[in-house]
Amino acid sequence: ATVAPARGDARDCRRPSIWWLGPGFFLHWFCSVGPMAFFQGAAKHYYGLNGSLVWSFSLSARGIISILVSPWMGALSDRIQQRVPFLAMKAFFIIIPCLPLGLLPDVPLRGTLTFVLTVLMGFGGNAFGMAFAYCADIALQETGRSLNATIAAALTISFAPSFILAPTLSGMVAERFGQATMFIILTVMGLLSALYTMFILPESYGYVASSSGTPGGATGTSSPVSSAASPSS
């Protein structure tokens, strides 16, 4: 069986690694975790005693949608042989609830849009699924590297520091410049994450490692083979 070639753009010759994935994934989680307490505050502000119920329902609905969408996204990613567009899409979806709180005046519609968009975030899929698929592509093609070690390293340089830094820095910005400014900054950071992922992050699907390559170097090659197996002769 033949497999369609990987994309032929310039970045295909660069070696995918967790060091390429890390910056975008860090920004992704920073924008997700940083405003969490402020979303809860907005729920209380706009819905009073029902705020916790609205917030919980929004998260639950988002999770259900994500569960339904993620397998389809994974299958589609394998079918078109690309991870990067789905990672970029997720980076964009993560910031859409920030838009009303950053750009709209303090009116009831602002709260409604915020929590409707929180639900719609689920259409971006699972937060970890495609990133872990990217790690799996790397581990599969590189000798001596396990999937567990690759995922652990990726989380160490992105997920863990974002959970430490995002709430504190977001709170400091909100205290100093106001919550609207904080949401605008997070929106810009999320857009940068999506752009970085779409146009800079090397594609991992079909990547074949070079034994002499170094992480982030230009010695790897992108080959028209599946990440799961090479075509039989």
Q: Mind listing the pLDDT tens digit for each residue in 62-86?
A: 999 999 999 999 999 999 999 999 9
Where are the alpha helices (H) located in the chain, listed in sequence order? 18-33, 36-47, 51-80, 84-93, 98-103, 108-120, 129-141, 147-157, 159-177, 179-199
Buried b (16+ CB within 10 A) or exposed e, 103-138: eeeeeeebbebbbebbbbbbbbbbbbbbbbbbbbbb
pTM for the whole structure:
0.80
Q: Where residue 176 falls among pLDDT bands split at 50, 70, 90?
A: very high
Bridge partners, 221 (sequence order): 208
Q: Where residue 12 falls among pLDDT bands split at 50, 70, 90?
A: low
Q: What is the overall mean pLDDT for the chain? A: 85
**In sequence order, which residues have a C-beta less than 8 Å from that of residue 46 and are 6 or more positions away?**
54, 108, 110, 111, 112
